[in-house]
Structures are given as C-alpha cells and as structure tokens.
Amino acid sequence: MSPRQYLLVLIGILAREGLRFLHQRERFLGALVRPLVWLFIFAAGFRAVLGISIIPPYETYILYEEYIAPGLAAMILLFGGMQSSLSMVYDRELGSMRLLMVSPFPRWWLLLCKLLAGALVAVLQVYLFLAIAWFWGVQPPPIGYLLVLPALLLTALMLGALGLFLSSVIRQLENFAGVMNFVIFPLFFASSALYPLWRIRDSSIPLYEICRFNPFTWGVELIRFSLYAQLNWYALAGVAAALALFLAAALWGYDPGRGMMRFKQGGG
C-alpha cells in the first residue's frame, strides 16, 4: 500500500464522518445546547453557591463563567467521543463496519482514521461553543483560541479512544446507553470541570484524590490553561499517557485474534 492510498482512506473516512454529522442536525444542536444551558443558566447558581465571584488560579482573575467554559468544552469532547463510539456499535450491527474492517488496509489505520474523524468533528463543535460563549463574557486572550487547538485535539483523541474501547466491549446497541451513564457522568462530575480542585479538597479528601487522578480532569486542565495561553505539563503528560493506554486497549479490543471481537465472534 502506498502513502497516497493511506491518505485516500483517511480522506474517505473524514468525509463520511463529516457528512454523517451534517445530516444529524439533532446531534449538532444537542452538542451545543447542553453546555450552553450550563453556562447561561447554571453558572449564576453555582457561583452563588460557591460564594465566589472570581477565581484566581492562573496568574489572573477570571469570572466563574470563564472558569467553567473550558470544562464545558471538554464535556462536548466527551459526549462527542461517546457519540462516535455509538456509531461504531451501530455500524457493527448493520454490517457496514465489517466491510470496512475486511479492507486490505491495516485495522489499526482504519481505527485511527475513525478516531481522528470523530475528534475533528468534536473540536469543531467546541469552537462553535466558544464563539457563542464569547457574547456571555467568556473572552480569553485571542492567542488562546489558537493555542487551545492542540489541547482540544489531544483531549478529543483521548476521550474518543476510551469510547472506541468501550464500543469493542459492548455487544448490542441497546446496552450502550446504560454503559455510557456509568462512564460519562462519573468522569464529568468527579473532575475539575465545574469546581476548582482546591474547593473539592476542602470538602472531601477522598473525592479530591479521585478528581485529581481522573483522566477527564487532566483534559479539562490542559484545555483551561491552554485557552489562557499557559501550559500545564502535568495535565499534558496525563492526557498523553491516558491516550496511549486507551488507544492500546481499543486496538486490542478490535483485534479479532486477541481482543473482545474474538469473544463476540465465538459467541455468535
């Protein structure tokens, strides 16, 4: 296989995911409405409950809305990664994924292309969210919109790889929603997306430790620091390590000779 053929496969999968996203308008609206509701309605309530109007975690004072905006952006990536994984389960039941997997290209390349396509769609949704949030006072430095791109892409790949692994474990489409509830909500609420870690530490040390080692927290902090033109090396290392682990698990899960696909085929 030549590099040009590999590139054609990548372009084809990217185009397929892009067209699917354009045709599923409810998916687009749902991805935007959910974080905007949290930003517009719940931010004021959370700020009142926390008893703070400004938070100084990054050498400057930012409004609470500016604090949670990166967390809500990460939430878009989280739901986007799980939606992309849902499509894998759906394609497997329809048989279209089998046609993709029996192509002469390596399975790892096909899965990477699928993962990258879902990540790019989710990143596009985040930028639309940030554009709307700008009118609500979430106005990071202009350079932050550019610097946050690698953080968004890396976090989207990490969460997408997690979803890809879960899709290799789930046998039926009906079971996907239930499993996701045990993944999405614990990841989101046991993180620094809505509350500063120091606030969580003041209320519960065990919960603080859970949040501190939550991969989603690493993604949130990487996005948050990058959006305000700073770099959190601890978060970067954590996201990179989690991406490598989840991706290895996903590739193992979709290996018909060793992973979960072998057990599914054996069980009929």
- Mean pLDDT highest for which of 53-57, 105-109, 139-143? 139-143
Residue 264 lies in a domain: no
CA distance 141 to 132: 16
Residue 10's Cβ-count burial label (10 Å; 0-12, 13-18, 19+) is middle
The amino acid that residue 110 corresponds to is: L
Residue 144 lies in a domain: yes
DSSP state of 255: -
The label of the residue with tokens 């931010």 reads: 43
Residue 50 lies in a domain: yes
| 193 vs 267 pLDDT, higher one | 193
Domain range for 24 is 3-256
Q: By the 8 A CB rule, do 166 and 184 touch? A: no
Q: What is the mean pLDDT of the chain?
A: 79
pLDDT in tens, 197-245: 877 888 889 999 999 999 999 999 999 999 988 889 999 999 999 999 9
Q: By the 8 A CB rule, do 121 and 24 touch? A: no
Task: Compute CA 163 distance to the chain's CA centroid, rounded to the nearest angstrom.
Answer: 9
Q: By the 8 A CB rule, do 96 and 32 touch? A: no
Query: How many domains are contained in the chain?
Result: 1
Residue 127 lies in a domain: yes
Strands 54-55 and 62-63: antiparallel
pLDDT in tens, 29-50: 766 778 888 888 777 666 655 5
Give the pLDDT band (50/70/90) at residue 266.
Answer: very low
Residue 265 lies in a domain: no
